[in-house]
Amino acid sequence: MEKLKVGVLGATGAVGQKFIRLLDNHPWFTLVAVGASERSAGKSYAEATHWIETSEMPDFVKEMTVKNCTPEAMADVDFVFSGMDAAVAGEIEKDFASNGIPVVTNARVYRRDNHVPLLVPEVNPDHIGQIPFQRFDSNGRGFIITNPNCVCVPLVLSLKPLHDAFGVDKVLVTSMQAVSGAGYPGVPSLDIMGNVVPNIGGEEEKIMWEPLKLLGSVGDNGIVSNASIAIQASAYRVPVVEGHLLSVTVGFKTKNVSAADAISVIQNWVSPIAELNLPSAPKQPLKYFEDPAHPQPRLHVWNERGMQVSVGKMRASGVLDLAFTALGHNTVRGAAGGAVLNAELLVNKGYIKARA
């Protein structure tokens, strides 16, 4: 297959840089355009970007000229990834979709839109059935697809097998979130070194709502009926570079679910997209650790190239039914890597194709 031509909007930011890293030698996609704000447009990518990745900036991108984020400036792409600031993403992403260019975004703006899928391919692949109902582009070629908040990915991936088996009823979740989740320069060092900040603006609302859409079902009208689950979330910023760690307590509709039952369900769960062999899909999207001191961000966040969600310490809860730990890489699985996997699913299902 000839590679599809892709652009990255917000390519200079923390998530944008992860896109660059993940698109280096991608088997299906080739990066042909990078876009950012007016501050960066016209400069070479190397000049415009304060590179924060732990691997070298790939040579192929260094001399690319950063463009303005407009469909005219990126007319040669087949689709775009977006890692733009949410404050500006709405209008720009709509502009691309209206001009027939599919947008695969990390920004939150369209996550609640009635016909925009909020997608984690292993959780709700059927939600791509919402796309034909979108009306951004009268020709139906441009559309928007979103991935969820970075905490919601490890949360819904770990809940999905349990929800299918026992019916999740109530969730209490406390997230311990890495500083890279705030972008660059992010949280001031004096606020976070040797400290924990017990508030992340707007985060708890997203964690309490997005799982309901992700675990909901799509109707014939392309609208999702949200899952009926009560969620209480608390979000804390901790001095960790990469990886959001979650403490989850869960109650089920089914009575008397034991920790052993839940572990067995997680270990035997098969992802609904396993047979598609998508290039970025982890072989094992969900792994259970027997050691109660695992998973840990520093030890496990890069498992399966940052695409695996790790679970551990499943035990009985004195408040609801069970409690466990979950971990996900916030800028890979929870952002750029999740978006690349979303795009691969859309290519496999024929929604994204060459435009020429």
Determine, following the binding rule CB under 6 A, whether residue 335 of this chain makes contact with ligand NAP.
Answer: yes
C-alpha angle with apex 26: 20 to 32, nearest 5 degrees? 55
Listed in sequence order, the residues at least 6 apart from 260 whose beta carbon sits closer than 8 Å to its beta carbon are none
Distance, in Å, from the CA atom of 10 to the CA atom of 175, rounded to the nearest integer, reads 26
Determine, following the binding rule CB under 6 A, whether residue 107 of this chain makes contact with ligand NAP.
Answer: yes
Determine, following the binding rule CB under 6 A, whether residue 202 of this chain makes contact with ligand NAP.
Answer: no
Would residue 163 show up in a list of annotated catalytic residues for this protein?
no
User: 118 vs 314, which CB is nearer to ligand NAP?
Assistant: 118
Determine, following the binding rule CB under 6 A, whether residue 95 of this chain makes contact with ligand NAP.
Answer: no
Listed in sequence order, the residues at least 6 apart from 28 whose beta carbon sits closer than 8 Å to its beta carbon are 1, 3, 4, 279, 344, 347
Binding residues for ligand NAP restricted to 60-79, rule: CB under 6 A: 69
Determine, following the binding rule CB under 6 A, whether residue 150 of this chain makes contact with ligand NAP.
Answer: yes
Determine, following the binding rule CB under 6 A, whether residue 117 of this chain makes contact with ligand NAP.
Answer: no
Determine, following the binding rule CB under 6 A, whether residue 171 of this chain makes contact with ligand NAP.
Answer: no
Length of the chain equals 356
Q: Is 24 helix (H, G, I), strand (E, B) or coil?
A: coil
Determine, following the binding rule CB under 6 A, whether residue 88 of this chain makes contact with ligand NAP.
Answer: yes
Annotated catalytic residue, options 26, 69, 127, 150: 150
Burial tier of 129 (Cβ tally within 10 Å: 0-12, 13-18, 19+): middle
Pair 307, 332: CB distance under 8 Å: yes
Determine, following the binding rule CB under 6 A, whether residue 337 of this chain makes contact with ligand NAP.
Answer: no
Name the CA dihedral angle for 103, 93, 135, 355, rounded to a multiple of 10 degrees. -40
Which residue is at the shortest CB distance from ligand NAP? Answer: 13
Distance, in Å, from the CA atom of 17 to the CA atom of 5, rounded to the nearest integer, reads 18
Determine, following the binding rule CB under 6 A, whether residue 106 of this chain makes contact with ligand NAP.
Answer: yes
Listed in sequence order, the residues at least 6 apart from 253 whose beta carbon sits closer than 8 Å to its beta carbon are 166, 167, 168, 169
Q: Which stretch binds ligand NAP (CB under 6 A): 102-110, 136-144, 189-197, 251-259?
A: 102-110
Would residue 150 show up in a list of annotated catalytic residues for this protein?
yes
Determine, following the binding rule CB under 6 A, whether residue 85 of this chain makes contact with ligand NAP.
Answer: yes
Determine, following the binding rule CB under 6 A, whether residue 86 of this chain makes contact with ligand NAP.
Answer: yes
Phi then psi for 56, rounded to 5 degrees?
-60, 150
Determine, following the binding rule CB under 6 A, whether residue 12 of this chain makes contact with ligand NAP.
Answer: yes
Distance, in Å, from the CA atom of 119 to the CA atom of 339, rounded to the nearest integer, reads 9
Q: Which stretch binds ligand NAP (CB under 6 A): 7-15, 132-140, 296-304, 311-319?
A: 7-15
Annotated catalytic residue, options 163, 244, 300, 329: 244
Q: Which stretch binds ligand NAP (CB under 6 A): 21-29, 32-40, 201-209, 307-315?
A: 32-40
User: 97 vs 322, which CB is nearer to ligand NAP?
Assistant: 97
Burial tier of 354 (Cβ tally within 10 Å: 0-12, 13-18, 19+): exposed
Q: Which stretch binds ligand NAP (CB under 6 A): 84-92, 135-143, 269-277, 318-326?
A: 84-92
Determine, following the binding rule CB under 6 A, whether residue 180 of this chain makes contact with ligand NAP.
Answer: yes
Distance, in Å, from the CA atom of 192 to the CA atom of 322, rounded to the nearest integer, reads 31
User: 66 vs 162, which CB is nearer to ligand NAP?
Assistant: 66
Beta carbon of residue 305, minimum distance to ligand NAP (angstroms, whole number): 16
DSSP state of 94: H
- Of 348, 350, 316, 336, the C-alpha closest to 105 is 336
Pair 231, 122: CB distance under 8 Å: no
Q: Which stretch binds ligand NAP (CB under 6 A): 103-111, 120-128, 191-199, 344-352?
A: 103-111
Binding site for ligand NAP (CB under 6 A): 10-16, 36-37, 39-40, 69, 83-86, 88-89, 106-108, 150, 180-181, 183-184, 330-331, 334-335
Active site residues: 150, 244
